[in-house]
Amino acid sequence: MEILINELEKLKEELREHNRRYYVEDAPSISDYEYDMLLRRLKEIEREHPELITPDSPTQRVGGEVVSAFASVTHEVQMDSLQDVFSREELEDFDARVKVAFPDAEYAVELKIDGLSVAVEYRDGVLFRGVTRGDGVTGEDVTHNIKTVRNLPQRIDNAPSRLIVRGEVYMPRESFERLNEEREARGETLFANPRNAAAGSLRQLDPKIAAERGLEIIIFNVQLCEGKSFTTHTESLEYLKKLGFTVSPYYNTFKTVDGAFEEVLRLGALRDELPFQIDGAVLKVNELSLREKIGRTTKFPKWAAAYKYPPEQKKTKLLDIVIQVGRTGVLTPNAVLKPVHVAGVTVSRATLHNRDFIKELGILIGDTVIIQKAGDIIPEVVGAVKEERTGDEVEFKMPETCPACGAPVFSDEDEAAVRCVNSECPAQRLRNIIHFASRDAMDIDGLGPAVVEQLVSGGFIRDAADLYSLKQEDVAEIDRMGKKSAANLISAIEKTKENDLSRLLFALGIRHVGQKAGKVLALHFKTLDAVLSASEEKLKEIYDVGDAVAKSIKRWWAMDDSKVLIEKLRAAGVNMESRTTVGSAFDGKTFVLTGTLVKFTRSEAEEKIEALGGKASSSVSKKTSYVVAGEAAGSKLKRANELGVPVLSEDEFLEMLENV
């Protein structure tokens, strides 16, 4: 056993060292494959001897459980925001205010990462807690997700007893582009920029989702370091590097504002080369004792400023406008551009949204157009350079038939969208199946876009119902899908036959029928047959359904292909009834969950409420029936007390469930 323990400790130390070389020094000494083999061996030992697993093990980046809520944490050191400046003149004004009292002050200039600011605390060298900035005074505990950040040490050597550092969590360009490609394949809304994607990932209740997103962090400040002090900011950055943290790859000091401004411009010119988004550069008085003398306003420190870069624009040719058919049949025009390098990537396509957008911009095929990318990775066309027209430009017109299947397209007078209503359209079929299998729909674990695409292209399935007739040997033929993975996928598909009707209604991909509408319809009608046979008037009578949903359901059910799909699902044994219980103490009641629940995850508690006829809401009002308050409940509990809304402890909530 001693030999095994020695091997385990050696593996952990090796992996930490390779992480440091890869992320901090940017000088990896082994291949990705060799690293993966070391990590695999460590996992094998820990799987056989789980008693040897420690929280700081490199395997534990995705070891946490799903949390039910985010607890509030008061920052020990306030996390300030910075005053923004947008021109050299404004930067000189900032400099004048500093130099009038401290003419010898020097500035540290570094990158301003476009991400989510967090404070990370270590106790005796082990990662203890991660908290979002919040309002600067109070943030949210996101420790379960902070542990998934790839280049953040779980443990540091030669550390003080307590250390709090501040950093910016971001999503690398490569990870962001991959994530949006996957979301597009599933027919989901794309993230507008890496910052939004990083913020959304860090606030996931399930750490496995955060881990899939490939988040990284750059540490830029020491908030608290017991037993050690620093003279300058740059000295503290060197200390952080020695501990194994990733700090900004560029930081320099300057005696004059002229030198600082030249550095700001130099860093701005590097934007295309960086693997992450920046939206500016930060100037800070370098000497820490001077910062205390300079002081702060009520909003931000007087010793720092953030220079914000303007949106980057480039001119290029609009070569063509092509149509992409989405999951719901919407025909989206996309600009085909002469490739141009802007904000770090080569842009050759951009969405033009719809026919009205093209009309408002007044662009023609063949125009010279202006492409803009500010904080957004997704490029946008902002206008045409009309003075450069030659007369050979051509007006774009939306097609009258679907480019994917040739069926007539439908144009709704109430919206700008033009759509194909043929459910057998090949462009829609793939996205419909991907949506059917997605997490919030039928939740078929292991059935991602790549697998669906292979099943469709291989002729194994034509629609979502065909999933239930798949055989293990069929799935095993797919690339990277061995016997065990195939068996797991077949088992996951079989398991979804017992899903509630609300999930099936959402999974069918009926336009306007989202998760909420699916739950409302299932609760009211009880069976799928009742939903589909209800008149448009009956559907519209239901609260939260409305005219658009009612029309979409009737239009979808009028198509022969929809009837075939439902009969195939019925024959496969897919549940088409609501599992919701009504007539209980929960029936018609609205519950708000706040604080940290111990016996349930947040989603588990909400599912139980909805299954018993209740409604889970995110905000407290006079119409709220009960507030369930877990540990560290905050503003929602206070609001409930102000309004006189009944408050249940978790035990009282559990007793209420048991008495149903």
pLDDT of residue 31: 64
Task: Please state which of the ranges 98-102, 484-488, 603-607, 652-656 shows the lowest mean pLDDT.
Answer: 603-607
Residues sharing a CB contact under 8 Å with residue 164, sequence separation 6 or more, in sequence order: 76, 77, 119, 120, 121, 122, 222, 223, 224, 225
Summarised one tens digit per residue, pLDDT across range 56-101 is: 777 766 544 444 467 888 999 999 889 889 899 999 999 999 999 9
pLDDT of residue 548: 82
The domain over range 426-572 is classified in CATH as 1.10.10.10 = no
Q: Are 610 and 579 in contact (CB under 8 A)?
A: no
Which one, of 497, 499, 477, 473, lies nearest residue 487 by Cα?
473
In terms of Cβ atoms closer than 10 Å to its own Cβ (0-12, 13-18, 19+), residue 360 is exposed
pLDDT of residue 423: 64
Q: Given pLDDT bands bounded at 50, 70 and 90, which one contains residue 351?
A: confident
What kind of architecture, by CATH, is found in domain 312-388? Beta Barrel (2.40)
Higher pLDDT, 380 or 479: 380
What does the alpha-carbon distance between residue 303 and residue 286 come to, in Å, rounded to a whole number?
9
Higher pLDDT, 423 or 77: 77
- Name the pairing type of β-strands 251-254 and 107-113: antiparallel
Average pLDDT over the chain, rounded to an integer:
85
Average pLDDT in the 225-250 region?
95
Average pLDDT in the 464-469 region?
94
Residue 538 annotated as catalytic: no
Give percent helix, percent strand, percent coil of the chain, each to the nearest 5: 40, 20, 35
Summarised one tens digit per residue, pLDDT across range 119-174 is: 999 999 999 999 998 888 888 899 989 999 989 999 998 889 999 999 999 999 88
What is the number of other CB atoms lying within 10 angstroms of the CB of residue 322?
Answer: 13
pLDDT of residue 582: 55
The length of the chain is 660
pLDDT of residue 660: 62
Q: What single letter denotes the amino acid at residue 349? A: R
Domain boundaries, the chain: 2-53, 83-308, 312-388, 426-572, 590-658
CATH of 590-658, one of 3.20.20.150, 3.40.50.10190, 3.10.20.30, 3.40.50.450: 3.40.50.10190
Report the percentage of the chain scoring pLDDT > 70. 92
What are 577's strand-pairing partners?
A: 527
Residue with tokens 């009880």: 526
What is the SS3 assignment for 477-546? CCCCCCHHHHHHHHHHHHHHHHCCHHHHHHHCCCCCCCHHHHHHHHHHHCEHHHHHHCCHHHHHCCCCCH
Q: What CATH number belongs to 2-53?
A: 1.10.287.610
Summarised one tens digit per residue, pLDDT across range 601-627 is: 777 788 778 777 788 887 888 889 999
What does the alpha-carbon distance between residue 216 and residue 19 come to, in Å, rounded to a whole number?
12
Q: What are the DSSP E strand ranges found in 133-192?
A: 138-140, 162-170
Which one, of 202, 154, 156, lies nearest residue 58 by Cα?
154
pTM here? 0.56
DSSP assignment of 208-266: HHHHHTT-EEEEEEEEEETT---SBHHHHHHHHHHHT----S-EEEESSHHHHHHHHHH
In terms of Cβ atoms closer than 10 Å to its own Cβ (0-12, 13-18, 19+), residue 630 is buried
Residue with tokens 């920046």: 278
DSSP assignment of 60-97: GGG-PPPPSSPPEEE-SS-----EEE-SHHHHHHHHHH
Q: Are 625 and 592 in contact (CB under 8 A)?
A: no
Taking the CA atoms of 471, 473, 477 and 479 in sequence, report the sign of the dihedral they define: positive
Which one, of 158, 81, 83, lies nearest residue 117 by Cα?
81
Q: Given pLDDT bands bounded at 50, 70 and 90, which one contains residue 24?
A: low
What does the alpha-carbon distance between residue 105 and residue 98 come to, in Å, rounded to a whole number?
8
- Distances, alpha carbon 254 to alpha carbons 102, 266, 284, 286, 287, in Å: 14, 14, 10, 9, 12
Q: Which is catalytic among the residues 12, 112, 519, 615? A: 112
pLDDT of residue 534: 92
CATH class in words for 83-308: alpha beta
Q: Given pLDDT bands bounded at 50, 70 and 90, which one contains residue 318?
A: very high
Which one, of 258, 429, 460, 176, lies nearest residue 327 by Cα?
429
Q: Are 197 and 171 in contact (CB under 8 A)?
A: yes
pLDDT of residue 205: 75
Q: Given pLDDT bands bounded at 50, 70 and 90, which one contains residue 32?
A: low
Give the CA radius of gyration of the chain: 28
Which one, of 123, 113, 120, 131, lies nearest residue 71 by Cα?
131
- Identical fold at 2-53 and 590-658? no
pLDDT of residue 198: 86
Average pLDDT in the 358-373 region?
90
